[in-house]
Structure 1
Amino acid sequence: MSPGEQPEDVPARAPGPAAQALAAVRLREEGRPREARELLLPLCAAHPEDAGLAYQTAWVHDVLGLEAEAVPHYRRALALPGLAEADRRGALLGLGSTYRVLGRAEEAVETLSGGVREFPDDAALRAFLAMALYSAGRPKEALELALAVLADTSADPGIAAYRRAIRHYADDLDDLS
């Protein structure tokens, strides 16, 4: 028998959860989210304590437009220990954005505000919070935050030339001085 071969009477082992999760992520990235979901749902059910699997399962539901089904997976991913920092940021953004899409603007604001408190330099979280604030009927706060994100992150020469003024109005749109 050559190295790596198994005797005929020993069944080959199925790939472990980590390999299956990587395969599911690859499928999602390749534009095959339905296949990714088929892999992730039983895997997530078999490993309910795995925050990373819960996050990936939430993400694939969002990609498929199944936002309501994504929510419990996002919530579990955020509640469990062990979620990598980048995934935690993504889960906070994903859950907040999903709440907004579902018409749950106040929950979106609460989730994204928490994300911004936890990761104050994350421009994407701040931008999604601006959208949630707008959806929650708080357009002034939304525009002020969007202007702050623009002033803080833009490399556009025109924005750079007026960065100080944009930042001033981001702090108080009603100040006309």
Structure 2
Amino acid sequence: MDETWDGRIAAFWADAGSRDPKTLLAAMTELVREQPEGDPAALYELASVHDFLGHESQAIPLYQAALDGSLDGERKPQAVIQLASSLRNVGRAPEAVSLLEDFPEDPTTGSASRAFLALALFDAGRSREALQVALAALAPTLPLYSGTVAAYADELEEPGTQGRQ
């Protein structure tokens, strides 16, 4: 068992689904207290547990503080995506779109940012763009019809096109 802070964080998340919310939050709070105040990784983990518990409004400022505090490594792309998802969930879809529009794919998260961008675009009333983003992200993963789906996604990108029947 990895007794480092990161190892104990990994163990926390591996067991998170089987714990009650009060215990879960208390356990993460204890882990966070082990780090220096304002530590970006600790802020991110605390934000994540609030998010996991459905307390997006409490998670948002923690994600923002973690990112403002120069969060790096694998946690950074996750924090951006999770912040955008939380913003969307509290009715702030345009802010989520702004965060994700130019966010690059990352080895840690793959195309997840595109999926969350599609959701945010949809919630922002931009359903055509949402479909285009979703299809463009899906196309490269298809063993058949990849080129066709990519072409349809391209057609959706151009305003005023009707697409093929």
Normalising by structure 1, report the TM-score.
0.74
**Deviation of residue 105 (structure 1)?**
0.7
| Per-residue deviation, residues 131-162 of structure 1 (Å, max 9, x unmatched) | 100000000100001000110223xxxxx321
Kindly report which structure 2 residues correspond to 1:1-177, keeping only aligned pairs within 5 A, or say none. 19=5, 22-30=7-15, 31=17, 32=19, 34-41=22-29, 44=32, 47-84=36-73, 86-114=74-102, 116-117=103-104, 119=106, 122-154=110-142, 160-173=143-156, 174=161, 176=163
Structure 1 residues 110 and 65, CA gap change in structure 2 (3 angstroms): same
| Per-residue deviation, residues 98-135 of structure 1 (Å, max 9, x unmatched) | 01110111111112224x24749931001110110000
Structure 1 residues 118 and 28, CA gap change in structure 2 (3 angstroms): closer
Query: Which residue identity lines up with residue 27 of structure 1 in the other structure?
Result: F
Given that residues 51 and 82 in structure 1 are in contact (C-alpha distance below 8 angstroms), is that contact kept between their aligned partners in structure 2?
yes
In percent, how many aligned pairs have the same letter? 37
Structure 1 residues 109 and 82, CA gap change in structure 2 (3 angstroms): closer
Structure 1 residues 162 and 102, CA gap change in structure 2 (3 angstroms): same
Query: What is the DSSP-based 3-state SS (H/G/I as helix, E as strand, rest coil) of the residue aligned with 1:97?
Result: helix
The alignment covers a number of residue pairs equal to 153
**Deviation of residue 82 (structure 1)?**
4.5
**Deviation of residue 34 (structure 1)?**
3.6
Q: Following the alignment from structure 1 to structure 2, what is the Cα–Cα distance between the partners of residues 125 and 118?
A: 7
- Any gaps of 5 or more consecutive residues in structure 2? none
| Per-residue deviation, residues 79-114 of structure 1 (Å, max 9, x unmatched) | 112421x21111011000001110111111112224
Query: What is the DSSP-based 3-state SS (H/G/I as helix, E as strand, rest coil) of the residue aligned with 2:87?
Result: helix
Q: Following the alignment from structure 2 to structure 1, what is the Cα–Cα distance between the partners of residues 44 and 77?
A: 11
**Deviation of residue 169 (structure 1)?**
1.2
| Per-residue deviation, residues 38-81 of structure 1 (Å, max 9, x unmatched) | 14336646733311101100110011111100011100111112
Q: Following the alignment from structure 2 to structure 1, what is the Cα–Cα distance between the partners of residues 24 and 11?
A: 8
Q: Following the alignment from structure 1 to structure 2, what is the Cα–Cα distance between the partners of residues 130 and 34?
A: 33
- Any gaps of 5 or more consecutive residues in structure 1? 1-15, 155-159
Q: Following the alignment from structure 2 to structure 1, what is the Cα–Cα distance between the partners of residues 57 and 10?
A: 20
Q: Following the alignment from structure 1 to structure 2, what is the Cα–Cα distance between the partners of residues 176 and 113?
A: 23
Q: Following the alignment from structure 1 to structure 2, what is the Cα–Cα distance between the partners of residues 27 and 42?
A: 11
